[in-house]
Amino acid sequence: MNLFPFQPDWAKGVKETTSFLTDVLVAYSDAEQRRGLRSNPRRSLAFSIVTMSASETALLAATIFGKQDAPFVVPWWPDAQRLAAPLASGSTAILLDPSTRLFAGNGLAVIWKSPTANEIVSVSSVLSDRITLAAPTVNSWTANETIVLPAFLGRLGTSVDFSRFASGGVLADLKFSGEAGQIAPSGSWTPTQYRGLDVLEVAPNFANAIKRTSSRSLIVLDAKTGDVTVETKSASPIAATSIEWFLADRASIANFRDFLDRRKGRLVPFFAPSWDADLVLARDVLATDSTIRVQANGYSALLFPSVSRRDLAFLAVTGSRVYARVSNAVNNGDGTETLTLSAPIGTAFTASATQVSILELVRLGSDDLDLSWSSSTFSESSLPIVGVPREVPA
């Protein structure tokens, strides 16, 4: 196996991509039939490298020249962690915390100290505090100076560009596309569920504006000389948005990875709050209440008739979250509307400290799921989300 031993330039970031494959068939009414075509995702890694010595530059040139047509063992740099204790030659286990990394039984790992000091190992099993190896290590490794990483097989493209600044310095932007059928750990985290479906509870990163698009399928007949005829194909618009997330620690990253793996790309839908103040409470809500009063905004006439707008998310500044179904809505004619819930809400909410958002049934808008890293501690993600209102349970 050929290791690609060069670490990324973290100043330029690292992008991890998990790619599924989904066939989406759209009916006249905008209803969808989706089929997953790939049981295991393909994992890709893109990053830049900078060599700072003649020896590293020569090794890079030789590596690309000799093995560009073959898959490389690519260290999964976002999941690096330092060796906590010295590792002797002949060791059959490595002490580390694998819980938030992509170590997997029957997978690969890399022990790395430098581009010229490293070792590929095969993982036999993953335990709570170590990984066991299928064969003993060949070399001895010192703690703190050595890192351990999961690894995947990946191929470079048909061409690789280098920018040479001196005889001993090269910049290269690289993308390794993952080979098929590689093993990654199965997630152990189960998201909150509502009405039998997962709920995405990770709040967006509002550092940038969130762009939303509402699309309605219409047939417009216009001869340019008379009346215009418009036929509506679907019962309600399709909402789409691109949301950015900031994941501040390894646990959050691991849970987010698990959530994305459960989606299978565009295949599996989930509930997500709009994160907008779609309704404004007109009074506090008691835990025993099965009706709430909101400021009038047309919900009864414009939104409630659509099944896809009958699920609500109550989001308190204290962190409390409750999801509820609206069974009836009435405009009171006094600037408020009364919404009847299918069951008592179960939690008290203060009107001044609670946001009420539409809880939408959505799917991911892409089979390629990205995480962008500027260190191995935190990451960011930006993914398109598309509504599937025809699939909301009645």
Q: Which of 346, 348, 350, 299 has its CA nearest to residue 326?
A: 299
- Give yes or no for residue 168 having a pLDDT over 80: no
Asked, for residue 183, whether it belongs to a domain, the answer is no
- The rounded distance, in Å, linking the Cα atoms of 43 and 4 is 16
Asked, for residue 187, whether it belongs to a domain, the answer is no
Asked if residue 128 and residue 39 are part of one domain, the reply reads yes
Query: Domain range for residue 296?
Result: 193-391
Asked, for residue 185, whether it belongs to a domain, the answer is no
Asked, for residue 188, whether it belongs to a domain, the answer is no
Asked if residue 172 and residue 120 are part of one domain, the reply reads yes
Asked if residue 61 and residue 208 are part of one domain, the reply reads no
- Give yes or no for residue 304 having a pLDDT over 90: yes
Number of domains forming the structure of the chain = 2
Residue type (1 letter), 35: R
Q: What is residue 199's predicted lDDT score, i.e. its pLDDT?
A: 97
Asked if residue 12 and residue 159 are part of one domain, the reply reads yes
Asked if residue 292 and residue 209 are part of one domain, the reply reads yes
Asked, for residue 25, whether it belongs to a domain, the answer is yes
Report the helix count and the strand count for the chain, using DSSP H and E: 2, 28
Residue holding tokens 């308190």? 316
Residue 119: count other Cβ atoms within 10 Å of its Cβ.
17
End-to-end CA distance of the chain: 53
CA-CA-CA-CA torsion for 46, 63, 115, 182, nearest 10 degrees? 50
Asked if residue 121 and residue 36 are part of one domain, the reply reads yes
- Give yes or no for residue 241 having a pLDDT over 80: yes
Asked if residue 318 and residue 279 are part of one domain, the reply reads yes
pTM of the predicted model over 0.85: yes
Q: Tell me: the pLDDT tens digits for 192-226? A: 999 999 999 999 988 888 888 888 888 899 989 99
Q: Tell me: the pLDDT tens digits for 24-50? A: 999 888 889 999 999 889 999 999 999
DSSP per-residue string spanning 321-375: EEEEEEEEEEE-SSSEEEEEESS---S-B-GGGEEEEEEEEEEES-SEEEEEESS
Asked, for residue 82, whether it belongs to a domain, the answer is yes
Strand partners, 336: 295
Alpha helices in the chain (DSSP H): 54-67, 250-263
Asked if residue 376 and residue 268 are part of one domain, the reply reads yes
Give the number of residues written for the chain. 394
